[in-house]
Amino acid sequence: MNFGDMFKNFRKTSSTIEDAPSHWIKCPQCNSLMYYKEVENLFHVCPKCQHHMRIGQEVRIESLIDKGSFVEFDSTLAPIDPLKFVDKKSYKKRVEEGEKKTGKKSSVVCGECTIEGIPTQLVVFDFKFMGGSLGSVEGEKIVRSAHRAIEKKHALIIVSASGGARMQESTFSLLQMSKTSAALKRVSQNGLPFISILTDPTMGGVSASFAMLGDLIIAEPGALIGFAGQRVIEQTIGTKLPEGFQRAEFLLEHGFLDMVVKRKNMKKTLADLLYFFDTNIHNSNGRNRKILQTRRRRDDFVEDDSLEVETG
């Protein structure tokens, strides 16, 4: 074997740059290099600085619900391209890329699940699919979930991670802001809770519509939440903005949010809130009544300091 062959074999057996991310991950905040599995077990929260990294719909759903309880609906709904829109790439191409990254046809996954035994309608955004943008399909899925919540007397939870309205759909996208808001009004009229969870980032048309209409608005630590970006605002008003502006903690302090909850505590917090709202009290289903009877008392929620919930 000559030296060239040896080098060829060496290259084959070594980790490639493409393999590297599956073993090691760098925290975008504190730059610590960590073993991927370790971070994965912590639902992608940095063990050194507690930075909450962005996660896809799959990990998000897993972190919130009772194992194996999620039943997805409307997964076949796919965007059409009414404007035949092309910017740097065609809209069609961008949708294809999003599908490749997430395995889904839109930036929203919706379905039914249980959270500590309580049946709930859940909608989750995936930022990897076109920046979690809100288009016609995403809006329609939210409206259908709202209708299912009303029909089944369930609570509705929407987890946002979005850059805003999908510009490739222009007015069709902006229309979703009013369409989803109207559906949530009907949820409210039916006396059912809507809990909005804002994750990094929740911006633009999403924060300007359904994401801010929650009966309870909860954010993850450090999440960027706002309408326009900081630089645009600074240029428009000609002033330097304060430290931490548009971050979850700043917004909590200024009364924009109800809670900032760490990812590891989110499921338990949701379960306690759902229990508190008694979402199934009107449901004559014996199983649900039994679940309610066996659930923790509300006092547990107040006394449990392991929750580490910040409230405003």
Binds Zn ion (CB under 5 A): choice among 21, 22, 26, 30: 30
SS3 (DSSP) at 24 = strand
Q: State the nearest-atom distance from the C-beta of 268 to Zn ion, in Å.
A: 23
Is 28 a binding residue for Zn ion by CB under 5 A? The answer is no
- Binding segment toward Zn ion, per CB under 5 A, in 40-48, 131-139, 254-262, 293-301: 40-48
Query: For residues 221 and 227, is the Cβ–Cβ distance under 8 A?
Result: no
Own/partner pairs, 84-89, CB within 8 angstroms, 24+ separation:
85/168, 85/169, 85/170, 87/168
Give which of 104, 113, 103 is closest to 137, Cα–Cα: 104
- Binding segment toward Zn ion, per CB under 5 A, in 46-54, 145-153, 209-217, 280-288: 46-54
Is 51 a binding residue for Zn ion by CB under 5 A? The answer is yes
Binds Zn ion (CB under 5 A): choice among 20, 49, 83, 182: 49
Is 46 a binding residue for Zn ion by CB under 5 A? The answer is yes
- Binding segment toward Zn ion, per CB under 5 A, in 10-18, 26-34, 208-216, 258-266: 26-34
Is 45 a binding residue for Zn ion by CB under 5 A? The answer is no
Query: For residues 246 and 274, is the Cβ–Cβ distance under 8 A?
Result: no
Binding mask 257-286 for Zn ion (x = CB under 5 A): ------------------------------
- Binding segment toward Zn ion, per CB under 5 A, in 42-50, 64-72, 79-87, 276-284: 42-50
Q: Cα separation of 127 and 199, whole Å? A: 10
Binding mask 281-310 for Zn ion (x = CB under 5 A): ------------------------------
Query: For residues 46 and 26, is the Cβ–Cβ distance under 8 A?
Result: no
Q: Cα separation of 156 and 142, whole Å? A: 10
Is 48 a binding residue for Zn ion by CB under 5 A? The answer is yes
Torsion sign, CA atoms 278, 255, 184, 74: negative
Strands annotated E in the chain: 24-26, 33-35, 71-73, 108-115, 118-125, 155-162, 194-202, 216-219, 259-260, 310-311
Site residues, Zn ion (CB under 5 A)? 27, 29-30, 46, 48-49, 51
